A = this chain, B = another copy of it.
Amino acid sequence: MATITVSENHAAQPTTTATKYVYFFGGGKADGNGKMKDELGGKGAGLAEMTNAGLPVPPGFTIQTEACREYMRSGGKVSGDIDKQIETALRRLEELQKQKLGAGENPLLVSVRSGAKFSMPGMMDTILNLGLNDQSVEALAARSNNPRFAYDSYRRLIQMFGNVVLEIPKSVFDEIFDAKKKQKKAKLDTELDAKALKEVIQEYKKAVKKHAKRDFPQNPHEQLVMARDAVFRSWQNDRAKHYRRINNIDDMLGTAVNVQAMVYGNLGETSGTGVGFTRNPATGEKEFYGEFLMNAQGEDVVSGVRTPVHILELQKIMPDVYNQLREITTRLEKHYKDMQDFEFTIQEGTLYMLQTRNGKRTGRAAVRVAIEMVQEGLITENEAIFRVDPNQLYDFLVPTLDEKSSKVEVLATGLPASPGAAVGQIVFTADEAVKKAGHGDKKNPVILVRAETTPEDIHGMEVAAGILTSRGGMTSHAAVVTRGMGKCCVAGAGDIEVNERAREMRVKGQVFHEGDWISLDGTTGRVIKGKLNTVAASAENEDLKTLMGWAEPFRKIGVRANADIPRDAIQARAFGAEGIGLCRTEHMFFDQDRIPHMRAMILADNEKERRAALKRLLPMQRSDFAGLFKAMKGLPVTIRLLDPPLHEFLPKREKLMVDIATLSSADPKQKKALVGEYREYGAKAVGDLKKLLPALLRRVEELHEFNPMLGHRGCRLGITYPEITEMQSRAIFEAAVAVEKEGVKTHAEVMIPLISTVKEMSNQAAIVRRVAEEVFEEKGRHVHYLVGTMIELPRAALVADEIAKEAEFFSFGTNDLTQTTFGFSRDDINKVLPTYLAEGILKQDPFAVIDRDGVGELVRVGIERGRKTRPGLEVGICGEHGGEPSSVEFCHQVGMDYVACSPFRVLTARLAAAQAGASDQLKTEGGRTK
């Protein structure tokens, strides 16, 4: 038990209490226990818990995380108190083992391992065999009667210590070792005998002297202190920081250090070592799962030098040990009430448990394990709900790469922008994608590779199997659109150089052309060379249904989907969406058959021409909306009026400039191609371009904006061009009336974007309501609808009480709200985000996980003020956050009515919302045991 010992020496200064820095475990009893992960880290807590449970654990002690934090705070020092407590613990260990650290005939050797609160496998450093020196190695050789083992252990210590503590490059030692193997004509490490290893040791020591400007420390106590500090420092290494960043682990936690008596799996044929799981971590099946090697050390199992053996084989080799291991791990699972991931060593026939922890598993496994543990009576249904990370439900919805199907050569790693797997031939343009991808049976999978995608690429993105971009973040166009499509996307793979003009991509010195095969893993962000197979997935899963059946009754808030087309809406319904939270109407205009009318509208010189173009778009929008209403069968369909700035629909300014500048010097073929490109704008012959292009550029210049995000968009469009709002409203209400006439209920929620003042809202709401009345009058039928707004600007949240006078619902657009609250352009944030995360300035990407302090306060204020004016105001969220578990929890906490997310996040949102609800309810009831 964690007790804070008050130092008697300081009785005169009653405010000073000594912290307990060191926790001993061994001899069947530990100072700590399994709950003390904050202090002891996961590993240390596990060792204490196993020791207390009477399991065979090599004894030792854990230096708690506070020591690491002190080390960081003080810039690399620890107080004398810590040193004293370590010495005390070490003496206790020596007494228990009846050994002396690195001394005497039977020297005590220890391992020094990091162990943070949250598992960070392989991220921090470990030192084995500590205590060996020129004397004790001889003692070990004599006592083990195995000089080769002793010298090998010693050279491993020097190597690990040299690398980890003294920061000498690993290659220095590798070169010496490889040279020795060559000299001795040895193929395997094990072919080097004791003599050769002694020579290696000599050379290692020289290398240490040369690179570290000091001798390898012969004093075992000095070794221990230096190793401890190196572990502390390893908390701050780049790998560890990176790992914490992606896993949202607080940089301030620090790591504990575990010092433990060494046991050896390489002392001969009755020794061995292995790792295992109490259930299959990939499928969740209840089977004893793992692998081991006889006469080997831990690192041999994972290094791949020798092929490990399935754990069931152990039963044949050492049936007693196997049975003991089975019995222990079964007890551990029962004790922790969760699937265990364990490490063990057999030293000369004696089993030692080195580690146990809750095992990482796939989403499918997580669900199955949770369900079966309920069936086995290990956990309750309420506990099972929390055993699955909502993000993992994605596993049920996307295919995965079959990595055994082919050699895996990772070319680059980008952001895992949209999960799943995709395998296909490279194309560099959306048009080429459409051409290559084919239709129906003759479908050829293509991967669309772009520096970044734009709305004009949509048609190519729709037919592509996956998308790869070299620029852009987790909320770039490619990322957002593909997540909406449930399509695999790797974004911002910066190592890849895309040359769209030359139609090639370069990476790692290799050049890839159109038609070359690549495979994408959107779940990890890996770009893999060549053609791997994929494994399909399906959401129709009984375990999933069972789990959701337990979880859903706790869910207090609704889950809607963002969907722009009927196909997505139907998909979303299948995943359990209870409405459409965001239909982005502009996506409807990028279709090949529509964009010309949209462009005509934008290029119109006057309102009359603009109205004519809008009239041509009206029937198209109407049929889109009708499709959505039919798909949703009376559930709410939230339709956002046109939002993006109009220049997004026109050719890019710089392209026009270049085309104009090069027109006169272009050759006939190029000129003809240009005519083709601008045909839609009225170019019929080369001669037309001279007038047309500058005119087009003039309009594009007029529309050009320095900061489009803060520009002429959202309701500002509808206010300056009320005819756009009129057309869209008409399309919505004509569709709703027509669908209701067919006997299908409708529930339209018309959403005005980018409101910052109530007057904008009243201006636009008045148009919507007027058009609604006109349509109802004309068609002789009235349908139910609401007019509301997105709250996506700080000012809207602040004056929400005013806005709620006109708005019948709020939907928080937290993408834009995050942009404006932080002053971060989400298209540009990648220039600073890596540094910000690395420096700990941000704990996570605020576009991925909602910022509760800043953006969150505005959300809270907006809801509170909105409902002050209009009690019961319907409030939701439609930003990307609506599908992210911790953000969903936040939405639950602040009292939203629903969250909305892309169809493929609906399951995740449902479980996250249920967990939030359950957490609340069980806390209140005091009934939650976890």
Interface string of A657-700 (1 = CB under 8 A from B): 11001101100000000000000000000000000000000000
Contacts of A710 in B (CB 8 A): 707, 709-710, 819-820, 823-825, 828
Separation of A72 and B792 alpha carbons in the complex (Å): 33
A708, chain B: closest CB distance, angstroms:
7
Contacts of A835 in B (CB 8 A): 719-720
User: Are B827's CB and A706's CB within 8 A?
Assistant: yes
Tell me if A175 counts as interface (CB < 8 A to partner B).
no
Separation of A653 and B716 alpha carbons in the complex (Å): 28
> Which listed residue, B795, B828, B854, touches A851 by the CB 8 Å rule?
B795
User: Are B839's CB and A763's CB within 8 A?
Assistant: yes
Tell me if A605 counts as interface (CB < 8 A to partner B).
no
Contacts of A711 in B (CB 8 A): 825, 828, 831
Top 6 closest pairs, chain A to chain B, by CB: A665-B665, A795-B854, A710-B825, A707-B825, A794-B794, A706-B827
User: Are A855's CB and B795's CB within 8 A?
Assistant: yes
Which chain A residues (806-831) contact chain B, with CB distance < 8 Å? 816, 819-825, 827-828, 831
User: Are A712's CB and B831's CB within 8 A?
Assistant: yes
Given A839-B763, A841-B763, check contact A823 B756 (CB 8 Å): yes
User: Are A799's CB and B719's CB within 8 A?
Assistant: no
A732, chain B: closest CB distance, angstroms:
23
Given contacts A661-B661, A759-B840, 20 further A-B contacts (CB under 8 A): A658-B661, A661-B662, A705-B827, A706-B708, A706-B825, A707-B707, A709-B710, A710-B710, A710-B828, A711-B825, A711-B828, A716-B832, A719-B835, A719-B839, A720-B835, A754-B823, A794-B794, A795-B853, A798-B854, A799-B853
User: Are A854's CB and B799's CB within 8 A?
Assistant: yes
Tell me if A757 counts as interface (CB < 8 A to partner B).
yes
Query: Which of A662, A793, A798, A858 has the most chain B CB within a 10 Å cutoff?
Result: A798
Interface string of A192-203 (1 = CB under 8 A from B): 000000000000
Contacts of A795 in B (CB 8 A): 821-823, 851, 853-855
Contacts of A857 in B (CB 8 A): 798
A242, chain B: closest CB distance, angstroms:
17
Contacts of A653 in B (CB 8 A): 654
User: Are B841's CB and A719's CB within 8 A?
Assistant: yes
Separation of A42 and B857 alpha carbons in the complex (Å): 46
Tell me if A836 counts as interface (CB < 8 A to partner B).
yes
User: Are A854's CB and B794's CB within 8 A?
Assistant: yes
A376, chain B: closest CB distance, angstroms:
46
User: Are A832's CB and B707's CB within 8 A?
Assistant: no
Contacts of A827 in B (CB 8 A): 705-707
Contacts of A705 in B (CB 8 A): 825, 827-828, 831
Tell me if A282 counts as interface (CB < 8 A to partner B).
no
Contacts of A841 in B (CB 8 A): 719, 757, 759-760, 763
Contacts of A759 in B (CB 8 A): 839-842
Chain B residue nearest to A824 (CB atoms) is B710
Interface string of A840-851 (1 = CB under 8 A from B): 111000000001
A193, chain B: closest CB distance, angstroms:
48
Interface string of A427-438 (1 = CB under 8 A from B): 000000000000
Contacts of A707 in B (CB 8 A): 707-710, 819, 825, 827-828
User: Are B706's CB and A709's CB within 8 A?
Assistant: yes
Contacts of A840 in B (CB 8 A): 759
Contacts of A854 in B (CB 8 A): 756, 794-795, 798-799
List 15 interface pairs A-B (beta carbons < 8 Å), by A numbering.
Answer: A657-B658, A658-B658, A658-B661, A661-B662, A664-B665, A710-B819, A711-B828, A711-B831, A716-B831, A719-B835, A793-B823, A794-B794, A795-B851, A795-B854, A820-B820
User: Are B662's CB and A832's CB within 8 A?
Assistant: no
Separation of A851 and B825 alpha carbons in the complex (Å): 23
Separation of A712 and B709 alpha carbons in the complex (Å): 15
Which chain A residues (839-889) contact chain B, with CB distance < 8 Å? 839-842, 851, 853-855, 857-858
Chain B residue nearest to A802 (CB atoms) is B853
Contacts of A851 in B (CB 8 A): 795
> Which listed residue, B654, B828, B853, touches A798 by the CB 8 Å rule?
B853
A796, chain B: closest CB distance, angstroms:
8
User: Are B822's CB and A756's CB within 8 A?
Assistant: yes
User: Are B798's CB and A720's CB within 8 A?
Assistant: no
Interface string of A392-426 (1 = CB under 8 A from B): 00000000000000000000000000000000000
Chain B residue nearest to A662 (CB atoms) is B661
Given A823-B710, A840-B759, check contact A798 B858 (CB 8 Å): yes
User: Are A823's CB and B816's CB within 8 A?
Assistant: yes
User: Are B793's CB and A822's CB within 8 A?
Assistant: yes
Contacts of A825 in B (CB 8 A): 705-707, 709-711
Contacts of A798 in B (CB 8 A): 821, 853-854, 857-858
Contacts of A793 in B (CB 8 A): 821-823
A584, chain B: closest CB distance, angstroms:
18
Which chain A residues (720-773) contact chain B, with CB distance < 8 Å? 720, 754, 756-757, 759-760, 763
Separation of A100 and B763 alpha carbons in the complex (Å): 47
Chain B residue nearest to A819 (CB atoms) is B710
Separation of A831 and B647 alpha carbons in the complex (Å): 13
Interface string of A351-365 (1 = CB under 8 A from B): 000000000000000
A480, chain B: closest CB distance, angstroms:
14
Separation of A706 and B708 alpha carbons in the complex (Å): 7
Which chain A residues (889-915) contact chain B, with CB distance < 8 Å? none
Contacts of A821 in B (CB 8 A): 756, 793-795, 798, 820
Contacts of A657 in B (CB 8 A): 654, 657-658
Given A708-B707, A709-B706, A756-B854, check contact A720 B832 (CB 8 Å): yes
Separation of A553 and B779 alpha carbons in the complex (Å): 71
User: Are A757's CB and B794's CB within 8 A?
Assistant: no
Given A707-B825, A757-B842, check contact A820 B794 (CB 8 Å): yes
Separation of A882 and B665 alpha carbons in the complex (Å): 53
Separation of A719 and B833 alpha carbons in the complex (Å): 11
Separation of A754 and B825 alpha carbons in the complex (Å): 13
Chain B residue nearest to A701 (CB atoms) is B451
Chain B residue nearest to A792 (CB atoms) is B823
Chain B residue nearest to A835 (CB atoms) is B720
A414, chain B: closest CB distance, angstroms:
17
A191, chain B: closest CB distance, angstroms:
45
Which chain A residues (119-154) contact chain B, with CB distance < 8 Å? none
Contacts of A828 in B (CB 8 A): 705-708, 710-712
Query: Which of A709, A820, A840 has the most chain B CB within a 10 Å cutoff?
Result: A820
A799, chain B: closest CB distance, angstroms:
6
Contacts of A858 in B (CB 8 A): 794, 798
Separation of A199 and B759 alpha carbons in the complex (Å): 52
Contacts of A822 in B (CB 8 A): 756, 793, 795
Separation of A315 and B626 alpha carbons in the complex (Å): 82
Contacts of A754 in B (CB 8 A): 823
Separation of A15 and B792 alpha carbons in the complex (Å): 43
Chain B residue nearest to A793 (CB atoms) is B823
Interface string of A267-280 (1 = CB under 8 A from B): 00000000000000
Separation of A710 and B827 alpha carbons in the complex (Å): 9
A397, chain B: closest CB distance, angstroms:
31
Contacts of A756 in B (CB 8 A): 821-824, 854
Separation of A798 and B760 alpha carbons in the complex (Å): 25
Separation of A654 and B793 alpha carbons in the complex (Å): 31
Contacts of A720 in B (CB 8 A): 831-832, 835
Separation of A735 and B685 alpha carbons in the complex (Å): 65
Chain B residue nearest to A794 (CB atoms) is B794
A544, chain B: closest CB distance, angstroms:
39
Separation of A657 and B315 alpha carbons in the complex (Å): 71
A813, chain B: closest CB distance, angstroms:
10
Separation of A654 and B854 alpha carbons in the complex (Å): 37
Separation of A757 and B853 alpha carbons in the complex (Å): 10
> Which listed residue, B760, B820, B832, B853, touches A712 by the CB 8 Å rule?
B832
Contacts of A763 in B (CB 8 A): 839, 841
Separation of A857 and B855 alpha carbons in the complex (Å): 15
Chain B residue nearest to A664 (CB atoms) is B665
A852, chain B: closest CB distance, angstroms:
11
Separation of A751 and B828 alpha carbons in the complex (Å): 24
